[in-house]
Each structure stands twice: as C-alpha cells, then as structure tokens.
Structure 1
Amino acid sequence: MTRQACYDLDFQALMGDVRPLSRDLNRADPGRTRRAPSEAQLARRESAAAAPAGHGFLSDDFVDLVPPFDPLEYRRDGIQQGVVDRLRHGGYADQARLHLLRRPLEECRRALPPFIHEAFAHDLRSVLIVHGRGQAIDSPANVLRSYLAKWLPQFPEVQAYVSAQPADGGLGATWVMLRKSERAKAANRERQQKRRG
C-alpha cells in the first residue's frame, strides 16, 4: 500500500460520520434571510452611536498587558533622550492632571481625548495622568495602564511619555510631554528675536 493510500484511509477514518451542512443551516449562504439583531447587538450599536466624537481611534480591543513593575516609556522619533529623562525626573512642572484611578476603562477612554486636546489647545506641555498600578498583571489598574501605553502614541500631540517617580505617583502615574502648538512656537520665536535685539 502506498503512503498516499494510507493517508486517504486515515482521513476517511477520521471523517467517519461527518456530513455536509444542509443548505438552510449554512451560515455562509448568501440566499439565506437575515434575522433581526438581538437586543445586545442593538444596545452595542446604540452605545457606539452615542459615544462622543473624537476618540473612535482609541480601541478597547486586545492589548498586550504591561507587567505591573515595568515602567512605561515612549518617545517619538526626533525627541532627545535628555528630554525624556528630564520628564521622568519631574523636571517639568505638571500643568494639568487627569485622575483615572478606579474609573471604568470605557470612561477613561472617553476622558482621555478631550483632556489631551484641551491641554494642547491651551499650550500646556507636560501633564500627569494618574491611573494606578495593581499588583497582578490583569488587575483593572494595570489593564488601564496597558491601554494608556497603547492609546497615547495615537495622539499626534503626544511627543513622549514615561512613568513618574515615586514622589509623583510612581508606576501608578504617567508624565506626558505634548508638542508645542504653532501659536506657542510663534510666541517662542518672537521672544528669541526680542532678546537678540
């Protein structure tokens, strides 16, 4: 008996009593009529439609969980490591704070975009987000912390972020450096020109 014949017999033995789906049970059948959406599906659609605009890009889909004792750190290309180090050590004053401690993930997802956009609109450069840190990797605080690490780079206004020092909240808080607005850049150029004479 050839090897192929053995494979064919093994396959047939494994498939034994398997039968094709009948046409009316085939879910991929395009001719099948659609059922009305369930109450849960309708509720999810309504919730998505009622969500405020401006944060749709912040997904609450799967995220890689950051270990609870690992510090967060991110910087865009072109941002010097010295700026990140100064941010980490509290070298910039916190110009605003967002407290997300013990708040549900969806509420945090809604609160983050207006906070970042408003801080940028008011020419703030360094802000502190207090989120907490759990002992277990899947604790709610650590899940939120992991989502922040995923969400913050999605904002074009965010240049860098790092976990805070113990005096500022330690691994339960994150410093965020925002880029300068065009208005702030113009004011800075004007100040420098006045100094030069």
Structure 2
Amino acid sequence: MTQSARNDQDFRALMGDVKPLTGVGNRADPGTRRRRPTEAQLARRASAQAMTGKDSFLSDDFVDLLPPFDPMEYRRDGIQQAVVDRLRHGGYVAQSRLHLLRRPLAECRRVLPSFIQEAHAFDLRSVLIVHGRGREIDSPPNVLRSYLAKWLVQFEEVQAFVSAQQADGGLGATWVMLRKSERARAANRERQQKRRG
C-alpha cells in the first residue's frame, strides 16, 4: 500500500460518519448569492463618492514632467525667501506626514485634498509628503512628483513647498507650508494685543 493510499484510508477512518452540510452555500462557490451591502458599507460608499466630487478640481490631464534630479520650489507672493529656506533645511517640525509611495496616481489625487484640508483645519503649518523619485523622467514616482507640483499650487491653503533635504527623503519628499487658519490668526492677534498692553 502506498503512502498516499494509507493517508486516504486514515482520513476516512478519522472522518467516520461525518456528513456534509446541506442547504448552506460554500463561500468559495461562485454559484452562491451575494448578500446585500450593510448600512455601514452603503454609508462608506456614499462618503467615498462625496469625496471624489469634492476633489475634482485636481486634474490628471497633461503635466510637464519635472527632470528627476531637479528640486521643486514654489512660494506665493508675500512669502519671504527666508521662510522657504528654513522650510527646505527642515527648520520646521513635520506636524503630519502623507506617504504616497507606490500608490496609484488616482488614489494620490483622491487623498491629497483631504490631507491638506484636514491639516489646515487642525492648524498645522508644516507637513511632509513622501512620494518617491525615479531615475527616469517618465518613471511612476517622477510622474507623481510632477503632478504633485501641479496640484499643490491649486490649494489656497498652500503657501510654499520645497523638495526636502536628504535626511528627510531628498527629492523623494516635499515640505509643504500651510497658511494660518482664521482661528490661529485671531489667537495670534489676541496675543500681540495683550503684549502691547
């Protein structure tokens, strides 16, 4: 008797009088009916659909690809160069980070607006976005990096952004400076008035 035949005989002896269940579909069986989505699943779907409508101002149309070894830099009018230099050299603490490495472009386009808007709502000023950088101009990380440069300027909340230093991710990461919220500005004015007396 072969080993395989012995194993089959042992298995049958162990199973004895066990009978398969009837009337219960096997989950792996493609013939089983799908259950209706739960209330929580429907709510999550509705929320996701609402979010995709909210971030539609970010376009995934044509973008000029950045050379993979060129740093990114942008600042709005009125932002001092010293602030940008301090941001570039990691002079601000990363109050939040967003990791976009190896994520599809469509997913990055979807999560970026909520990240920026939530960071601004919580009065965060400096955030770090990790996106990666390819060696070729048309590599996926460099394409994402190019779109990120295009998208960030479209946010009213973004005052400046620069490529990070090597210790923070180099050209594969971007520091973003957000403007103060109205609540933070009011608190700042109140502190200054108290100081003046």
Deviation at 1:161, TM superposition (A): 0.2
> Hey, what's the Cα distance between the residues in 2 that align with 1:91 and 1:193?
27
> Hey, what's the Cα distance between the residues in 2 that align with 1:54 and 1:157?
15
Counterpart code for 1:104: P
Counterpart code for 1:145: R
Counterpart code for 2:90: G
Q: In the alignment, which residue of structure 1 is the partner of 2:159?
A: 159
SS of the aligned residue for 2:148 comes to helix
Structure 2 gap ranges (5+): 1-47
> Hey, what's the Cα distance between the residues in 2 that align with 1:177 and 1:121?
14
> Hey, what's the Cα distance between the residues in 2 that align with 1:144 and 1:54?
20
SS of the aligned residue for 2:161 comes to strand
5 Å-filtered alignment, 1:75-154, equals 75-154=75-154
Structure 1 gap ranges (5+): 1-48
Deviation at 1:196, TM superposition (A): 2.4
Deviation at 1:195, TM superposition (A): 2.2
Counterpart code for 1:61: D
Q: In the alignment, which residue of structure 2 is the partner of 1:189?
A: 189
> Hey, what's the Cα distance between the residues in 1 that align with 2:157 and 2:90?
20
Counterpart code for 2:86: R
Spell out structure 1 runs of 4+ moving beyond 4 A. Answer: none
Counterpart code for 1:135: R
Q: For residues 84-136 of structure 1, what are the alpha-carbon distances to aligned partners after superposition, in whole Å with 9 as ceiling and x for unaligned?
A: 00100011111000000000000000010000000000000000000000010
Q: Which moved more, 1:52-61 or 1:84-93?
A: 52-61
Percent identical pairs in the alignment equals 82
Counterpart code for 2:187: A
Deviation at 1:53, TM superposition (A): 2.3
> Hey, what's the Cα distance between the residues in 1 that align with 2:191 and 2:132?
39
Counterpart code for 1:123: D
> Hey, what's the Cα distance between the residues in 2 that align with 1:191 and 1:67?
45
Q: In the alignment, which residue of structure 2 is the partner of 1:36?
A: none
> Hey, what's the Cα distance between the residues in 2 that align with 1:69 and 1:130?
16
Deviation at 1:194, TM superposition (A): 2.0
Deviation at 1:54, TM superposition (A): 1.8
Q: For residues 123-166 of structure 1, what are the alpha-carbon distances to aligned partners after superposition, in whole Å with 9 as ceiling and x for unaligned?
A: 00000000000010000000000000000000000000000000
For normalisation by structure 1, the TM-score amounts to: 0.74
5 Å-filtered alignment, 1:55-94, equals 55-94=55-94
SS of the aligned residue for 1:52 comes to helix
Q: In the alignment, which residue of structure 2 is the partner of 1:177?
A: 177
Deviation at 1:71, TM superposition (A): 0.2
